[in-house]
Amino acid sequence: MRFIIDNYTTASSSQALYFAEHLNEMEEHEVRMLKQGQESIFDAFDRFKPDFYITSTGLLSKDAVVYISQSKNIKLIISTNDANNSDVVEIESALLDSKINCPFFISNLRDEKKPMTKKTKVIRFMECVDLNFDADVGVDYSIDKLVMVGSKTDSVRNYNGTFHVASHNQDMAKVVDVCLPINLMVSIISKYKEVIFQEIGDYLPQLFFHSIASGIPTYYDLEDKERSDVVDNMCDKVFGVGNKLNYTSSDKITDFDSLKELVLEKHTSTRRVKSLLSQLPTKK
């Protein structure tokens, strides 16, 4: 099958890139990454003749909708990550009106928070370990803790020992010690003895999976009790550990060997791509 994929990567997620990379590794598939703003949508689709177009709510253009509505052979897959529900519903309505074949939307949100749609199926694709990343940048240092924060972190709690405060969010570059996108953050996490997330929303971040897969003690330490309970539940469903990744837990996990094995078995980019392919409608 032939895929055109938009580069909808963000500072915290590389989903679009690992979809493209792993699909291209398979002889039966061919991928072209679309250069938004640098080439005509119509020319790209005319030349490549894709079976599927994978994009995001933020990058789906009017030109693409017009083209696909006139070419019934192309099926559309949309990532709704970081989109609010009203935007998803508006896009779905436009697709239904144009009679575009959109088999499903992709969401990284926990099941209770997946977008509500009229007809289109929404499939959960959790974040995962991107196996295409380099493991180490060759910088040599050792710090006790890497403390991950976000734009909604009210205040950074202190810990014993040395620690760096870090974020993927470029808006926080002047107020944190380390501000890097996911691929570069992954390359330095081995320099820390623990990784602590002080902000987690309605999905487990990609770096959370990478940190566990590196065998590093990885926890969340959330100020809001209600939010902490939600993440307890998420981690129990995904890892089967109850609240033992909660930094405040009296019996939190310290040996991460079995969790590392679990993540590398079930939560890698190759597994996510296999899941994607299993959901795609086949040609009749």
The tens digit of pLDDT for each residue in 72-96 reads 899 999 999 989 999 999 999 999 9
Q: What is the pLDDT of residue 170?
A: 94
Q: What is the pLDDT of residue 283?
A: 63
169-185 per-position pLDDT tens digit: 999 999 999 999 999 99
3-state SS, the chain, equals CEEEEECCCCCCCCHHHHHHHHHHCCCCCEEEEECCCCCCHHHHHHHHCCCEEEEECCCCCHHHHHHHHHCCCCEEEEECCCCCHHHHHHHHHHHHHCCCCCCEEEECCCHHHCCCCCCCEEEECCCCECCCCCCCCCCCCCEEEEEECCCCCCCCCCCCCCEEEEECCHHHCCCCCEECCHHHHHCCHHHEEEEEECCCCCCCCHHHHHHHHCCCCEEECCCCHHHHHHHHHHHHHHHCCCCCCECCCCCCCCCCHHHHHHHHHHCEHHHHHHHHHHHCCCCC
Tell me the average pLDDT across 231-237: 97
pLDDT at 284 over 70: no
Q: pTM score > 0.75 for this model?
A: yes
| Neighbouring residues of 188: CB distance < 8 A, sequence distance ≥ 6 | 137, 139, 178, 180
pLDDT at 168 over 80: yes
Provide the β-strand partners of residue 234.
Answer: none
**Rounded Cα distance, 107 and 163, in Å:** 33
Q: How confident is the model at residue 107 (pLDDT cuts 50, 70, 90)?
A: very high
Tell me the average pLDDT of the chain.
94
**Rounded Cα distance, 221 and 248, in Å:** 7
**Rounded Cα distance, 201 and 231, in Å:** 8
Q: How confident is the model at residue 140 (pLDDT cuts 50, 70, 90)?
A: confident
**Rounded Cα distance, 195 and 45, in Å:** 43
Tell me the average pLDDT across 4-28: 97
Tell me the average pLDDT across 158-167: 96
Q: What is the pLDDT of residue 196?
A: 98
